[in-house]
Structure 1
Amino acid sequence: MPFEGAKMLLENMTIMAKSPTEFNDPYDCDLELLDFSSALKDRTRKSIPDFNSKLSTSENHRKIDLESLTDDKVIEIYKNYAFPNFAKTIGVSCFSEKGDNSLMWSHYTRSHKGVCIGFDLTKLYFSLRDLKKDQLALIQVKYTDTFKSLDYFEDYNASIYHWISTKSDIWSYEEEVRILFQT
């Protein structure tokens, strides 16, 4: 990391967690890894009245009219609004299993001018887990040259794990491990 970031980490005893929607690789945590096509109107029929009832008077324009809702519109709502809003509640801290890769130093330390801080990720994870309980996951990134999407509604946990852990094999030199936080 850049020297300033390392200094702040050590002084404040904090680590940085970034939203997966803000990663530097636009294909990392790509929404195409999630399949929302089973988000049919019938599946969401019970949740729409609940959603509408929570809106304030000033938000009436956001109410969803169940009768005019099509399956395609439901899929669009999940893909373009509901899931991106959920994604903002996730923070990810990224680590490498290697500290001596020249490409990593050039990408993440302002052209070899920063520092590398080593962590025992197992100890770090369990100490953070004591603070966050069930809102934390330790994830080994999987690198691939072919991407498949998982059904978000069939297995929510597996699809989120897949979304967070799948990355193009051109990044395999990073040997990345992530800690996922949910706020």
Structure 2
Amino acid sequence: MLYKYFSFNENSLSCLINNEIWASKPTEFNDPFDSILTIDFENKKINSLFNEYVEHKAISCFSKNMDNILMWSHYADCHRGFCIGIDCLELENSKIMVEVKYSESFLEVDNDTFLHSNKIGGINEEWQRILTQKYDDWKYEEEVRLILQLNDSNAKGKLFCLPDGAIKEIYFGCNMNEKNKNTIRKILKNDQVIFYDMKKSKNNFKLDII
């Protein structure tokens, strides 16, 4: 199961109604080190090719957990939003779904291998590694990325249709109001989705699932 956090707004409700998620261009992310070529190449051709590669990618970010307090704070409107649980083995086992690797230092890449592995528009595991490396401080996210091809380099991203029935669970933030919870329940009333409430634990710094 993979999880994605949302604020409660028109865009997130549209995702539920249409069974689709938004994938953003990496240059739109909040981490200035995300998806940049951290290797100092003297070869300008490599830099140019990689920049073109990134401009034609769209990424949607998921997590392996649904109860991380920081994730709820940062990505679900300070716990006023919700989180969806997606169960789709076909998607999880595909080459477009890749786990993020965390480290203290930049990724080491062999210059020749990096240059000759270039495949604009294709799945390139060597170049894809750059799109899935992040600084160690981000590892609490336990991130998994869906990496898509973006045909229009001027677009900020694209929508991705989830397989039918992929959304299995909805988790409501501990600060979400009942009106918004009911709105989501109505949208998904005909789907076999299980709803959960996140509650602040009375004994520990954690979230309980009810």
Match of 2:87 among 107, 120, 123: 120
Q: Where does structure 1 differ by over 6 angstroms across 4 or more consecutive aligned residues?
A: none
**How many equivalent pairs are there?**
136
- Structure 1-normalised TM-score? 0.66
Distance of 1:82 and 1:174 partners within structure 2: 30
**Structure 1 counterpart of 2:33, one-letter code:** Y
The aligned counterpart of 2:44 is: 76
The aligned counterpart of 1:95 is: 62
Deviations 1:91-115 (A, max 9, x none): 1111000011010011101221111
Match of 1:139 among 98, 115, 123: 98
Distance of 1:154 and 1:148 partners within structure 2: 18
Judge conservation of contact 2:107–2:133 (CA < 8 Å) in 1: no
Distance of 1:139 and 1:162 partners within structure 2: 9
Change (3 A) 1:103 1:20: same
Distance of 1:175 and 1:122 partners within structure 2: 18
Q: Percent identity?
A: 38
Structure with more of its chain in helix, by fraction = 1
Once the two structures are superposed, the pairs formed by residues 22-41 of structure 1 within 5 Å of their partners are 22-32=28-38, 34=39, 36-37=41-42
Distance of 1:159 and 1:20 partners within structure 2: 17
Deviations 1:93-140 (A, max 9, x none): 1100001101001110122111101111534457xx7xxxxxx61101
Give the number of the structure whose alpha-carbon radius of gyration is greater: 1
Judge conservation of contact 2:35–2:54 (CA < 8 Å) in 1: no
The aligned counterpart of 1:110 is: 77
Distance of 2:117 and 2:52 partners within structure 1: 19
The aligned counterpart of 2:27 is: 21
CA RMSD of aligned residues (A): 2.2
Judge conservation of contact 2:103–2:133 (CA < 8 Å) in 1: yes
Distance of 1:149 and 1:124 partners within structure 2: 29
The aligned counterpart of 2:181 is: none
Match of 1:3 among 2, 8, 19: 8
**Deviation at 1:21?**
1.8
**Deviation at 1:77?**
4.9
Match of 1:167 among 134, 140, 145: 134
Does residue 155 (structure 1) correspond to residue 155 (structure 2)? The answer is: no
Deviations 1:70-95 (A, max 9, x none): xxxxx33542x443233111011110
Unaligned runs of 5+ in 2: 1-5, 119-123, 151-210
Distance of 1:121 and 1:145 partners within structure 2: 32
The aligned counterpart of 2:149 is: 182
Unaligned runs of 5+ in 1: 38-74, 130-135
**Structure 2 counterpart of 1:140, one-letter code:** E
Structure with more of its chain in strand, by fraction = 2
